[in-house]
Each structure stands twice: as structure tokens, then as C-alpha cells.
Amino acid sequence: MDEKGSLLPQPQATASRSRTRSLWAQLAQVTVICVLLKISFDAVSSRFGGHDQPVAAFATCPQVEPLYPSQNPSLSKMDDYITSSKFINETVARMAGAIQIPSQSYDDMGPIGEDSRWDVMFDFAAYLQKTFPLTHRTLSLEKVNTHGLLYTWEGSDASLKPSVLMAHQDVVPVAEATVGQWTYPPFDGYFDGQFIWGRGSMDCKNNLIGIMEAVELLIEAGFTPKRTLVLSFGFDEEISGGFGAAYLAPALISRYGKDGAAIIVDEGAGTYSKWGTTFALPGVAEKGYIDVEIIVRMPGGHSSVPPAHNGIGVMSELITLIEANPYEPHLHSENPFLGLLQCGASHSSEFPSKLKKLLPSHNGETCSKKDKLALEAAKLGDEIKYLFTTSVAPDIISGGVKSNALPERTSVLVNHRVNVGDHPAEVQAKLTKLAEKVAEKHNLTVHAFNDDPETPRSIKLNSDGRTLEPAPVAPTSVDGVTPYSVLSGTTRALYGEDIVVAPGIMTGNTDTKFYWDLTTHIFRYGPGWDPEQEGLEGIHTVNEKLSIKAHIKGVQWYSMFIRNMDEADLD
């Protein structure tokens, strides 16, 4: 005690308290930093859209009011006609005719003019010309690289950036061995009173014919656009678009310049019911892409005197290792699926409580070491998990030439769809490490993603020129009049205010990968919807079919969207 009776701190107690205060001060400092980072993150998020749009921008998932285009007697009459029984019969016939042209594209197609399998595209172009005479008299048509169809409907105001609607003419081939499994022949275009059956009915001749029908009807109703409308139809999307969109896109960029278009709408995601709510999900991004060829070279010899492990065994070991090391789910801040989760939390009464609890904390992910939100969301199923997870799939394998000869060269092709926020280079690095692990065990040399030749005892990794970074994320701001707000407003005008429009993401790639420089406002969306046919059942496989109700809704949507964009004050 001091002379006043108070306790004097001893030196050891003083040091202990000093350390305690120091720890509390450090903890408080970290907390303040996290809070400040979150505040800064949210402020930037709310202010900027575009390629790196973070989750906070979607925090409340604002919905725009239904957007109806201006009407006159002719346009009102046209809108009524689209829902008539006469139009149903006519559109069924048009869709059937399009399906009956087997415009299949194959992975091994040769050059145009040399490979006769391309010639079916002449038939499809002729069918369009015969079926849509007003469109062909009113719009200018350019044929790009022979079969690419570029229609331009010139607007009266050259200062307005054009709208671009896209689709592709080609379809996935039907394997001969599967023809007998179809309920109706794949190229008959059979209509059963509810569905039109056939290859291409949903992917995506419905979009192409729907666009052409909308334009034909608008011309007939006397509509003349202020904003130029461009229709860009590739013909080899199913084999990556190297002959079609790869030529069409540069032609448009050359004409209108970088960021020269107001909006692009191509095929893509549609409308689905989830968590007790119906969501329209225009794709605002696409995952990246990389194919990696792995080649194992091992000594040959007679198979009667085999080594403990030959090339096929070593390759099998490497494939097993690759599959045993999948990519972890991760929701990067720019991934649009975060926007969908925010919309679900804001508008769906059945949204999972566990996800809802994780959403707020995820906004401050700079202070989190584990992506708990992604791991929880991945439990919704693989079709959800791969919206925010890099996928890996060994798809093609070959090795050996004779039953009594050891394989000297074994190869496998491993396909990856790269998560938004990740990069193909990360895939290359991971595969290289796994290959090195196997190579060390079997005394092999690794040649990874370089120009080194294959050597007798080696593992060689190659990637081809189709490697693609994830697509830039389209802006989804609805402040003022934006391309996304026009798309959203059109959708809610057609389907009602119960529809929630939320950002979607494509796990595959579309022809839009060639159009990134034409505009940042790229949306991959299938606007036709019938609650009795949700999802992609039949696409790329047996019994592809299209709800006629969904198709007619698509025609309505395109007609409304063209007019809404024409009236939108975007520029």
C-alpha cells in the first residue's frame, strides 16, 4: 500500500497488464481494419459495376418495374396475333421446317468449300429466305465466311448504338446408334400438341426462328427502328465457333468499334423455380476453358515380358491422382452466383437458413480464411456446385496399337471449365505438380506447357489454342436506364412481377466469347419459358423437344425487347 492506502502495482503485474492491454489493442485494431475494409469494399461495390462486380452490389437484389413498349393499333394487333391459334399453327410449321434441315456440325469438319458436310448450311439459309420474305426485303444480309448470316436493320438515329441478337444455325449431331431411342425421329419436327420434337428445337433454332418471327411481324406491323438492330447467326457454335462467330464478331467490331454495341443477347440460361420463387437468370458471365493433353512416353517391348508399370498403368495412376484432387468450391467476389444467392435471400421465403446466415459474413471475405458459403452452397447439388467450382474431366484416352506390344505412347485429354475469378494458368500449375509427383515415382521427365519435344521416358503436358479466360462479368446495375434494366423490365412485363430477375452464369461457352470487345453488356438468355418445361432436358442428347408455349413467349419477348431497346435512353 502507498501512504494513502492505495495498492501500488508491482513490476510483474504491471508488465502483465501491459501485455493484456497490448493484445486487446491488437485485436481491436484487426477488428477496425476488417470493418474499414468491409465498408470500403461495400462502397466501391455499390458505386461500380462491370467486369469485377462484387457481391455487395447485389445486396438487396432490386427489381425493376415491368417495362412495356409504346403501342399503336398495328402493334397492338400484332401482339394479339402472336397469341392466336393461327400463329400457333404457323410457328409450329416454321419450327418443324427448321428442324427438318439437319444442320449438324462435327468436331472433325474440314475447311469450308472442301468439306461437303458444310453444304447443308446453304439449305438452311435458303429456308430462312423463303420463310421470312419481309425480313429479307427490309434488312440487309451479308454472308460472312460463306455461311455466317449478318442481318442489319438500319435505325433512323445513327448516334444510337445498335442492339445485337444472336443465335446459331448448327446443331449437335445425332449418333446413328441413338436414333431408335427417340420417341419421334430427330429430324422430323413432330408436334404432339404441346411439344415440337427434334434436334435443335431448344439449342437453339427456337431462338433463331423466334428472332426472325419477331422481326417479320414488326415489319408487317409498320414498325421502323430508331436504334439499329443487328442479327448475327453463326453456324458452328457447337464446335467452338472458329469458322462462324470468329469471323462475324470482328466484322461487327470493325464496323461499330470497340464497345460499339449497346447490348448483345445470345442463347443461354432461362427461367427456373427455386426456393419457392421463380427466377429469370440471364447469364452475365461464362466460365473459362482449357483442354490439357497429357502424353506418357514409356519404353515398348513384347507384352509377354511386361514391366511392373507400362504407359497405360502410369497414365491410369495420373488420372486417378487428378480425380482425387478436385478443385474446391470458391465464390470469388465477382462471381454472379453471389448475386443469385442475395436475390434468393431477399425474395424467397424458402431460402436455406444456413446460406442466409453465411451471406452477411461473406461480404467481409478479406477477413475469412475459408469459403464456408461456397462449401454450403455446393451441397445444393453438382449442377449448382460447378457454377463456382473449376471442373475437371478426363474425356478422351488412347494408347497402344497391338495386343502383344507394350504401349509406347499413351494420351488423355482432360477438359476444364474454369471458375469465374480463377485462371487457366492455375490449372496448368496444378496439373504440372501432379504430373511431377507421378514422374518422380517412375523416373520420368516432365515437359509442361512448353515447346520441348516428347522424349522416350517422359510426361508431356500441352494446351491448345482454345484456352479461354472466364468471360468479363456484364454490369447488372438497374440505377437509371441500363441494358440490364431493359432486359429485366421486358422479362417482368411479359411474365409478371412475381418473376425475380437475377444474374446467372454459364458453365459452358457460347459464341459470345468472340464478342467481348463489342460491348460489356453481354447477356446469355433464353427468354421463352413454360413452367411445364424447365431445365435443359434433351439438349445434346435423345428426345430434345420444345414447348410451343415457351416458344411463343420467346417471340413475344423478342418483339417487346426490340421495341424497349429502341425507346431506351442509354447513350
Residue 133: which residues within 8 A CB-CB, separation 6 or more?
none
Answer whether 136's CB lies under 8 Å from 149's CB: no
Backbone φ/ψ region at 50: left (φ over 0), alpha (ψ -120 to 50), beta: left
The count of other CB atoms within 10 Å of the CB of residue 9 is 11
Phi and psi for 335 in degrees, rounded to 5? -70, 125
The verdict on 278 and 348 lying in the same domain is no
The verdict on 253 and 220 lying in the same domain is yes
Q: Based on the structure, what is the number of domains in the chain?
A: 2
**Residue 146: which CATH number?**
3.40.630.10
**Residue 323: which CATH number?**
3.30.70.360
Answer whether 329's CB lies under 8 Å from 375's CB: yes
108-166 tens-digit pLDDT: 999 999 999 999 999 999 999 999 999 999 999 999 999 999 999 999 999 999 999 99
Q: What angle do CA 559, 562, 566 make, to 5 degrees?
A: 140
| Cell numbers placing 554 | 420467346
Residue span of the structural domain in which 523 resides = 74-106+118-285+474-567
The verdict on 279 and 308 lying in the same domain is no
In this structure, the dihedral spanned by the alpha carbons of residues 427, 432, 433 and 437, taken in order and rounded to 10 degrees, is 140
The verdict on 149 and 258 lying in the same domain is yes
| Cell numbers placing 14 | 504491471
pLDDT at 537: 73
Residue 318: which residues within 8 A CB-CB, separation 6 or more?
294, 296, 434, 435, 438, 459
The verdict on 191 and 95 lying in the same domain is yes
pLDDT at 366: 37
Distance CA 315, CA 297 (A): 10
Answer whether 413's CB lies under 8 Å from 394's CB: yes
The verdict on 433 and 327 lying in the same domain is yes
The verdict on 275 and 347 lying in the same domain is no
Distance CA 513, CA 334 (A): 18
Placement of cell 461457352 in the chain: 509
| 397 domain residue, yes or no | yes
The verdict on 95 and 197 lying in the same domain is yes
Q: Residue 285: which H helix or E strand, with range?
A: strand 283-286
Phi and psi for 559 in degrees, rounded to 5? -60, -45
Cα of first residue to Cα of last residue in the chain, in angstroms, is 80
257-304 tens-digit pLDDT: 999 999 999 999 899 999 999 999 999 999 999 999 999 999 999 999
pLDDT at 539: 85
Q: Supply the DSSP symbol for 62.
A: -
Buried b (16+ CB within 10 A) or exposed e, 520-541: bbbbbbbbbbbeebbeeebeee
Q: Which amino acid is at 317?
A: E
The verdict on 424 and 482 lying in the same domain is no
Placement of cell 422481326 in the chain: 215
- The partner residues of 265 in beta bridges, in order of sequence, read 165, 523
pLDDT at 536: 67
Q: Is the peptide bond before 204 cis (omega within 30 degrees of 0)?
A: yes
Burial class of residue 480 (count of CB atoms within 10 Å of its CB; 0-12, 13-18, 19+): exposed
| Cell numbers placing 417 | 471449365
Active site residues: 170, 237
pLDDT at 40: 35
| 416 domain residue, yes or no | yes
Distance CA 353, CA 346 (A): 12
Which of 571, 478, 472, 561 minimizes the C-alpha distance to 525? 561
pLDDT at 466: 84
The count of other CB atoms within 10 Å of the CB of residue 518 is 27
Placement of cell 427438318 in the chain: 100
| 64 domain residue, yes or no | no
| 292 domain residue, yes or no | yes
Answer whether 132's CB lies under 8 Å from 216's CB: yes
- 432, 463, 494: which is the final residue of a domain? 463
| 560 domain residue, yes or no | yes
Predicted TM-score (pTM) of this structure: 0.87
DSSP 472-530: PPPP---SSS-HHHHHHHHHHHHH-TTEEE--EEESS--GGGG-TTT-S-EEEE-----
| Cell numbers placing 70 | 409504346
Reduced to 3 states (helix: H, G, I; strand: E, B; else coil), residue 456 is coil
| 554 domain residue, yes or no | yes
Which of 565, 491, 555 minimizes the C-alpha distance to 521? 565
pLDDT at 90: 98
The verdict on 447 and 352 lying in the same domain is yes
Placement of cell 506447357 in the chain: 449
The count of other CB atoms within 10 Å of the CB of residue 97 is 17
Placement of cell 517391348 in the chain: 301
Answer whether 97's CB lies under 8 Å from 188's CB: no
Bridge pairing between strands 271-274 and 229-234: unpaired
Residue 327: which residues within 8 A CB-CB, separation 6 or more?
389, 390, 391, 392, 419, 422
Placement of cell 438468355 in the chain: 525
The verdict on 232 and 90 lying in the same domain is yes
- 463, 494, 524: which is the final residue of a domain? 463
| 56 domain residue, yes or no | no
Count of residues in the chain: 571
The verdict on 132 and 255 lying in the same domain is yes
In this structure, the dihedral spanned by the alpha carbons of residues 136, 142, 145 and 146, taken in order and rounded to 10 degrees, is 40
pLDDT at 165: 98
- The partner residues of 143 in beta bridges, in order of sequence, read 149
- List of the chain residues with pLDDT < 50: 1-58, 361-367, 369
Computed over its alpha carbons, how large is the radius of gyration of the chain?
28
The count of other CB atoms within 10 Å of the CB of residue 366 is 12
| 22 domain residue, yes or no | no
- 463, 489, 522: which is the final residue of a domain? 463
